């Protein structure tokens, strides 16, 4: 998969409630409210199913974006530590 390679499976999963999920769920819900407002429907009472759907899609998108971000950071850390191990003369211990 292009979005998340198989080697990302070795990482622990992010928590279900994380900053990305909450923000994108809130963004999805607000998008549904804006859609109601632009269509001149009651903002909170109309299309509750759409509000739940948009918030759910935002939640899952946020979860997988956080998962991808953690994979990218782990990959950079792994490459950096491999470089430090291969070039110990450049990284002497202080003292």
Q: What digits encode the pLDDT tens for the residues 48-92?
A: 999 999 999 999 999 999 999 999 999 999 999 999 999 988 888
Asked, for residue 94, whether it belongs to a domain, the answer is: no
Residue 9 lies in a domain: no
Q: Is residue 25 part of a domain?
A: yes
Q: For position 37, what pLDDT does the model report?
A: 96
Q: Is the pLDDT of residue 1 over 60?
A: no
Q: Which domain holds residue 79?
A: 16-85
Task: State the pLDDT confidence band at 95, using cuts at 50, 70 and 90.
Answer: low
Average pLDDT over the chain reads 92
73 falls within a domain = yes
Closest to 20 measured CA to CA, from 70, 86, 82 = 70
59-80 per-residue burial string, b: 16 or more CB within 10 A, e: under 16: bebbbebbbbebbeeeeeeeee
Is 6 within a domain?
Answer: no
Please report the pLDDT score of residue 50 as a whole number: 96
Please check whether residue 8 lies inside any domain of the structure.
Answer: no
Residue 22 lies in a domain: yes
Residue 91 placed within a domain: no
Total number of domains constituting the chain: 1
């Amino acid at each position: 998969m292009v979005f998340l390679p198989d080697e990302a499976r070795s990482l622990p999963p992010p928590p279900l409630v994380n900053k990305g999920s909450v923000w994108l769920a809130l963004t999805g819900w607000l998008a549904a409210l804006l859609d109601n407002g632009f269509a001149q429907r009651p903002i909170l009472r109309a299309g509750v199913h759409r509000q739940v759907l948009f918030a759910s899609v935002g939640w899952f998108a946020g979860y997988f974006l956080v998962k991808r971000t953690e994979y990218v950071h782990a990959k950079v850390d792994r490459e950096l530590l491999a470089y430090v191990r291969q070039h110990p003369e450049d990284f002497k211990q202080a003292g």
